[in-house]
Amino acid sequence: MKTSFYKYILLILAACSVQVGLSQSDNAHVLRIGLAGGGVFNLMPTGCEMTSKIGGSGALELDYAYYKSLNTVGVGLRTGLGIGYVNSQYHAEFSQQYTNTDYLNNDINYTTSAVVDITQHQLHATIPLMFALRADGLVWNIGLNLQAAFFQQGNQQLSNPLIEAYYPAYDVVVSNELITGKLQEDQLLMPTQRPPLSFSCLVGTEIGYEHSINSKTGIGVMAYVNVGVWSSLPESTHTPVIQVDPISDSKHPVPAVSVNDAYCSLVNSSTPLQFGVKLYYAFTL
């Protein structure tokens, strides 16, 4: 009787050990390292005077994914770290109106206009938090990309600037003269004004195919799309791009003119759209 009991216990332990082994083999820890490259485009709100051109993007990515096997499908989570570069380009033909008061308390109604082209360079770090799925070589991820831009630099080029002043007291219109204010040559090309650090959140999806080289390694290709849903960048300042200061000195009735960041002036908000292809090498831990 005692021998039968021991045999029964051994059979239970053996069955449990087999089950544990199978459960462990069903789990997969996968590291992927690769390169991503593609384009970036910013969707502008209706009525915005600025439009976005297609720019370029690239990134070096190190990903970790955990999969739990459900029949023939691996289901899990993906995270990691990517260091990327984005080149964004914008174009606008704008016209803005505002009123100043001179030293005699007379109103001066200004209309300022120009064509502006902007190029912006950005370096950022990205942490993905995604639902992950794979089956028979097919790989699919969907979720969030948390992005921190730690370097932003660019420039804007103004062309065909116009400063037009209407003096209601005299019913006179004057354009691009000393008394209206004039832009200098060195003001036509200037650096953009972006915060040194900003954060954003994008919703993204990736789908591709992973080819197994052996039981532990593989190579893969993916297409991806990311759409921005939140950004810490401030909304439009509504400050004129070409800003003419009020005349305060009667002995020198020539207003000073300054140039502000056109993107911050004209764009209240935008939605970044990133798309491209990833090539990577994967190995199972």
pTM of the model: 0.83
Per cent of the chain over pLDDT 90 is 71
Domain boundaries, the chain: 26-284
Phi/psi of residue 24, nearest 5 degrees: -65, -35
Q: Which pLDDT band holds residue 26 (cuts at 50, 70, 90)?
A: low
pLDDT above 60: residue 21? no
pLDDT digits (tens, 9 = 90+) for 135-192: 999 999 999 999 999 999 999 999 999 999 999 999 999 999 988 989 999 999 999 8
β pairing state of 50-70 and 107-135: unpaired
pLDDT above 50: residue 1? no
pLDDT digits (tens, 9 = 90+) for 81-121: 999 999 999 999 999 999 998 888 889 999 999 999 999 99
Q: What pLDDT does 225 receive?
A: 98
| Dihedral in degrees, nearest 10, Cα atoms 14, 17, 18, 22 | 170
Phi/psi of residue 5, nearest 5 degrees: -65, -45
